[in-house]
Amino acid sequence: MPNKVKLNIKEVILDEKTPMAVSLVMDHSGSMGEERALSIQNAAELLINKKKNEDGMSLIKYDDHIETESAISTDKQTLLSQLKRNGLIGFGGRTAIIDGINVGMNTLMSSKGFKKKVVIVFTDGEDNSSTINQQDVIASAIKNNISICAIDFGYGVNGNFLKSISEATGGYYNRIYSTKEFSDVFEDMYRKLKQYYYLEYDTKQFGVHKLSIKFCTQNDSAIVNTMFSNIPDIGAIAVLDVFFDSDKSIVKNESDNAMLNVATLMKVYPGMEIEVRGHTDASNGTKDPNYNQKLSEKRAQAVKDYLQSKYNISSNRIQSKGFGDSMPIDDNSTEEGRARNRRTEIRIVKQ
């Protein structure tokens, strides 16, 4: 049964200027023909003219080879001067959709200063000549926080192919049937990226999460399916729901779910290495000034031992370290603050 969670919802509107970079990846395979190739180029020109000044854009064309006409630029005149409106000249071969997406992502990854990065890919056919694996591109997009939005044109396409990529990377998918829709669908997709609802919720599990969200209005409803990954990057620190009795270093049964999540993550990524970090609050009812330091070290070691003994995670993949009360994240003068300071964390050392 799907888990029910509490959502925080925020509406993001155009007035909130978040610099965005878009790689526009356009199909120029032989099936497009001269007329449709020119139509897609004209649609790209209109999108360039309508983009926000703070947003960057790159222009990429593909058939069975990939050409970058413009690297990421915020300057409209630069983009317009580099966009070639010459039909299928230099193109007209087979179709390498995944390779085109990959080049678009590489362009985005090398760009700086943009908070949101998106590939918009257009095709009228099937991928029949890519050298890169679809799952590898999805994994790279998730890792680099890049959304892939896709537009299928016509009847001779497999809609599930690009739709699955869009859903896996938090992008949008559209299908159109007329060249008259080119400009409208580009503008609509760009508008969605600049004006949308932002949903936030807490999850205690690491991995790839599938969400199905139903929006209801007075007269209509819509269901959105999407996926996201909360696997921490190298160097990232996450707080675990690990529990101990006061002044003790034995992991309590209430910690089982958190420990299982960490163990599952490490089994999915067999090369992953972590550092378990123990922290205490500033309370110390003993005469030993090093008591909190020792307690934090024992607790971190206890978590390591638990993962090793119960889930057979190699001790070589887990470091343990105690910090005592030296790294508070809240006020030690309040009970709430002390509770937050008493924590166990993991830091990703190697992924």
**Domain-located, residue 5:** no
**Domain-located, residue 1:** no
**Domain-located, residue 147:** yes
Residue 174 pLDDT level (bands cut at 50, 70, 90): confident
Contact 2, 225 (CB under 8 A): no
Average of per-residue pLDDT across 41-67: 93
Q: Please tell me whether residues 220 and 111 are part of one structural domain.
A: no
**Domain-located, residue 322:** yes
Q: Please tell me whether residues 215 and 328 are part of one structural domain.
A: no
Is it the case that residue 204 has pLDDT exceeding 50?
A: yes
Partnered with residue 347 across adjacent β-strands are 237, 275
For residue 124, which of 242, 206, 39 has the smallest C-alpha distance? 39
**Domain-located, residue 6:** no
Is it the case that residue 15 has pLDDT exceeding 70?
A: no
Is it the case that residue 104 has pLDDT exceeding 90?
A: yes
Residue 202 pLDDT level (bands cut at 50, 70, 90): low
Residue 228 pLDDT level (bands cut at 50, 70, 90): low
Q: Tell me the C-alpha distance between 117 and 23, whole Å.
A: 8
pLDDT at 209: 73
Stated pTM of the model: 0.57
**Domain-located, residue 224:** yes
**Domain-located, residue 3:** no
Average of per-residue pLDDT across 46-50: 90
What's the pLDDT tens digit per position in 134-167?
A: 888 988 888 888 999 998 988 777 767 898 888 8
pLDDT at 198: 60
Q: Please tell me whether residues 43 and 103 are part of one structural domain.
A: yes
Percent of the chain with pLDDT over 90: 47
Residue 177 pLDDT level (bands cut at 50, 70, 90): confident
Q: Please tell me whether residues 161 and 212 are part of one structural domain.
A: no
CATH code of the domain in which 93 resides: 3.40.50.410
Is it the case that residue 49 has pLDDT exceeding 80?
A: yes
Q: SS in 3 state form for 32-97?
A: HHHHHHHHHHHHHHHHHHHCCCCCEEEEEEECCCEEEEEEEECCHHHHHHHCCCCCCCCCCCCCCH
Q: Please tell me whether residues 43 and 101 are part of one structural domain.
A: yes
Local structure of 2: helix, strand or coil: coil
pLDDT at 227: 66
pLDDT at 1: 42
What's the pLDDT tens digit per position in 271-326?
A: 899 999 999 999 998 999 999 999 999 999 999 999 999 999 999 999 999 999 99
Q: Please tell me whether residues 25 and 37 are part of one structural domain.
A: yes
Quote the number of domains for the chain.
Answer: 3
Q: Please tell me whether residues 278 and 337 are part of one structural domain.
A: yes
Q: Please tell me whether residues 217 and 276 are part of one structural domain.
A: no
What's the pLDDT tens digit per position in 335-346?
A: 888 988 999 999
pLDDT at 237: 80
Q: Please tell me whether residues 16 and 140 are part of one structural domain.
A: yes
Residue where a domain stops, chosen among 199, 217, 246: 199
Is it the case that residue 211 has pLDDT exceeding 80?
A: no
pLDDT at 269: 83
Domain of 337? Answer: 237-350
pLDDT at 100: 97
Residue 64 pLDDT level (bands cut at 50, 70, 90): very high
Q: Please tell me whether residues 128 and 194 are part of one structural domain.
A: yes
Q: Please tell me whether residues 135 and 149 are part of one structural domain.
A: yes
pLDDT at 14: 47
Question: Higher model confidence: residue 26 or residue 172?
Answer: 26
- Distances in Å between the alpha carbon of 259 and those of 51, 86, 199, 323? 47, 59, 27, 20
Q: Please tell me whether residues 264 and 301 are part of one structural domain.
A: yes
